[in-house]
Every structure is written in structure tokens, then in C-alpha cells.
Amino acid sequence: MNNLIIEATKYTPEIVFDREKSLLEIRGKSYPENTSIFYAPVFEWLEEYFENAGDEKITVNMELIYFNSSSSKILMDFCDVLDAAASDGKNIMVNWIYEEDDEDGLEFGEEFQEDLESVTFNLVQKSIG
Amino acid sequence: MQKDHSIFSKEEEVLNIAESILHQKDIQLEVLLKEYKGLFKNYKKLLRQTKTVTRVSDNQQRNLSEILDRMGRYVSYQLFKKITHEKGKVEIKTQRKKLTVFFSDLKDFSYTSSHMEGEALSEFLNSYLEIMTQIVIKWGGTLDKYMGDAIMVFFGDPEFTSDEEHALGCVKMAIEMREKMKDLRRKWYDLGYQEPLHFRMGIATGYCTVGNFGSSERMDYTIIGTPVNLASRLETAADADEVFISHETWSYVKDKVICEPPEKLHLKGFHHQILAHKVLGLRDEKYKTVTIEDEEKGVDMKIDFSKVSKKELITMIDNLDIETASGD
């Protein structure tokens, strides 16, 4: 199984899912022209990944500066997939990373956090500079 | 998941199953209950997601509104509208347009400000710019920039009406600013500023290049061209609280504005002599009211020539029982 690497564009985030390191990272802005098409490989990769994953610790870093409504729906679906995998016994830790002065980033993280039951969800403040 | 390229494909699939069950005859209670549980679970999830998306979306819209509100304070109303309503790419693009350009600055302000504390200076300058900006907005000028105490405004872009209206609007704005300056001088004097501040204004009309100047990363929406330099030079040449307008501006406003006979000026950067007209006041067509102001000479008069002739006025002045300084 290959790693999933999607480079950032002006409208889409950088996605780096490293199978060996068990590290899944999404960083940047997310307002793709077609959200579903853009994120389709992410869900396909996840499905295959969780089928083969063992009990290793999986870290998911989500650092999103701006995302549109379609992306927030997809991101919740993404978190639901993680939550479902965690309830199946996978050891998953999600870090929702926001900048020090970004109150909205924190609020969004709290919104996502509320919806999850099995996954460990951390709100991580990133220092500026 | 997400294979048929809709963010709601999963929800649509659940609904399709539920609908197909409705059309089935003799369905077993066990199957019905199983599908009902699936529908219930997905509805619950969808409701939860809808609540979150709505909250996130509301937050983002509120933030956008606040950002737009803040941005509106940094650019003119006209430019703000252009930025927020115009679709397509923002690019380095310019065009030639006939504009009326205005410059003003406070006379000897560098000297005056050197005697002021920083806090007093910023309070003083901000109150001045606030009042003048309100007048710019009132007359529909595009506020290009502040340069310390100087103000640069232009008429004719982004909103175009007619060259006459732009020139007249600009001159009327300048006259109102001059009126307001009198109030401000009284106010500043009462507040303890002993130096009476005066300002100068220059207006010129002509073809300018207008649009975005700069780099793809950072650009300014501004104007360049001879009328910009001319307005600036006319402003520098003007006496305290006077407005100098270019000959072209004068040609558009001469029926509505009273000016002194033109002066021939040698201005820096211009090889030929420039005709400049000093604005006295508005010619009120309806009431034929003329305003004569000369603060230094202590003259501040409004004369309604629909009620009094020039001859009668001179007789009235001759009959005044006062001794004049010149002894006439």
C-alpha cells in the first residue's frame, strides 16, 4: 500500500498520509471546486488502510486555516470514519491544530470534538513565530 | 464512500433503501426494523452534521462580514464596492480615463506638528482627516490616499457620470472643506492650539491612467498622469485656505463657480505657463447669491443679487457710518 500524497494548491490542502509512520496529515485551506471528487482518494485510502492496520498508534494532524461548508461536511465524515475505526479498537489520536490568535480555529475544533465518541481528540494551540 | 461524487451520496443511498422498502409488499417485521434502525441512525448523524455545518457556516459568514466591515475603513466606498462586487481575477490592469483630481494639505503643518506631542498630534490629525473624509464621501469622491496631513481624491472612477459633474462635485467638495476648516480652526483654538492652521487645495482635470499598480502580490488601486502632478503643484502654489483649479477644470465649472481672473503660474515640472483660477465661491443660479470671503481682510459676506443690485450695494457701503483704515 502506497502513501497518499496530494500537494497543496490555492484552494486545496496538502494531504500526506504516511502508512509506515502511521501519520495522517491535512494542512491548509479547503474550498475545492468539487469537494467530493477531491476527497474521494482520501476515503478510498482510509478504507484500505484500516483494513490492514493493526494496533499501532495512529496520529492524525488536522491543521486547516479555512474551509468551506462542503469541506466541513466531508471533514465530519472523515472524523466519523476515524471514530468508527476507533470504536472497532484502532488506537487513533486526532490533533486539531489552530494558531494562537485564531479563535475561530479553536471554535471549529470544539464543534468537531463534540461529535466524536471513541477517538482521542486534542485541541492543539500552535505558537506564532 | 464518496464514489459517486456527491458529499451526500451516503445519505442518498440510505434514503433510496428506505424508499424501496416502502414499495415492497409483505415485508417482514424483522427486515423493516433493521432498515428503520439504519434510517434512524443516519438521520441522527445527518442532523448532528447539519447542526455543526450550520454553526461553522454562520461563524464564517459573521467573520466575513466583520472582515468586510474592517476592510471598508481602509479603502474608499467606491473602491470597496469595486472589490466586493467585481467578479474575475484581480490583476494588474489599467485604463485611461478623464478624471478630476484633488490635493490638499495643511500649510506649515510640519512646523506646527514639531511643537506637538505624539498623542496630541495623532488626535489632531485624525479628527481633521475624519471630518474631511466625511465631506469626500458626501460628494462621491474616491479617496485615493492620505499622505500625512495631505489628502488625495479623484472623481470619475470607479463611478463615472460626466466630466462636468466630476469637476463640479470636486470643486463643491473643496468649498465645503474650506467652510468646515473655519469651524475646525475655532475648535482647535478653543482646545489650546495657538497656531491657526490653514490648508491649501489644488484641482486639475485631464486624462489619467487608473487601475491596479504594483506587483501580483501587492497592488494599489490608484491613478498616475499629468493631472495628478498638476493638482499637486496647484495645491502647493495656492495661498492659505485657497483653491486653485486648472483651466480645464474651470471650463467645466465656470457657469456654476465664481473664480478670480486666471493667473499665469510657473509650476515645477511644467515647461509652459499654467493658467490657474482661484475659486471664490459658488454661483447660486436660483437666488443669485454670491459669497465673498477674505479672512485676512475680515470680509465674510453673502449677497443675494436677486434682491439688491451691485449699484445699490456700493451705495449701501458708501453710506456706512464708519471710518475705514485707508481713510477713504
Same domain, B125 and B170: yes
Same domain, B207 and B295: no
Name the residue range of residue B36's domain: 9-71
In this structure, the strands spanning A23-30 and A57-67 are: parallel
Same domain, B233 and B116: yes
Same domain, B212 and B265: yes
Contacts of B9 in chain A (CB under 8 A): 36
Residue of chain B whose Cα is closest to the Cα of A71? B7
Name which of B285, B105, B249 is nearest B169 in CA terms.
B249
Separation in Å, CA of B20 to nearest CA in chain A = 25
User: What's the pLDDT score for residue B227?
Assistant: 96
Same domain, B136 and B275: yes
pLDDT lower than 70: segments of chain B: 1-5, 78, 88-92, 284-289, 306, 323-328
Residue B325 forms part of a structural domain = no
User: What's the pLDDT score for residue B74?
Assistant: 77
Same domain, B132 and B243: yes
Let me know the angle formed at the C-alpha of B243 by B277 and B170, rounded to the nearest 5 degrees: 95
Cβ contact A36–B49 (<8 Å): no
Contacts of A43 in chain B (CB under 8 A): 1-2
Beta carbons within 10 angstroms of residue B323's beta carbon: 8
Contacts of B53 in chain A (CB under 8 A): 69, 72-73, 76
- Tens of pLDDT along chain A (129 residues)? 899 999 999 999 999 999 999 999 999 999 999 999 999 999 999 999 999 988 899 999 999 988 888 998 999 899 999 999 999 999 999 999 999 888 778 888 888 888 788 999 999 998 765
Residue A80 and residue A78: Cα distance in Å, rounded?
Answer: 5
Mark out the alpha helices in chain B (DSSP H runs). 9-22, 29-71, 77-85, 109-113, 118-138, 163-190, 226-237, 247-253, 310-318
Residue of chain A whose Cα is closest to the Cα of B2? A40
Residue A14 and residue A26: Cα distance in Å, rounded?
Answer: 6
Cβ contact B49–A104 (<8 Å): no
Contacts of A81 in chain B (CB under 8 A): 1
Domain residue ranges of chain A, discontinuous segments joined by +: 4-126
Chains A and B: how many Cβ contacts under 8 Å? 56
User: What's the pLDDT score for residue B102?
Assistant: 98
Q: Is the backbone peptide bond immediately before B196 cis, with ω within 30 degrees of 0?
A: no
User: Does domain A4-126 match CATH 1.10.8?
Assistant: no
Mark out the alpha helices in A19-68 (DSSP H runs). 35-52
Looking at this predicted complex, what is its ipTM?
0.77
Name which of B104, B81, B82 is nearest B95 in CA terms.
B82
Residue B121 sits in a domain whose CATH number is: 3.30.70.1230
The structural domain count of chain B equals 3
Separation in Å, CA of B296 to nearest CA in chain A = 55
Residue B3 forms part of a structural domain = no
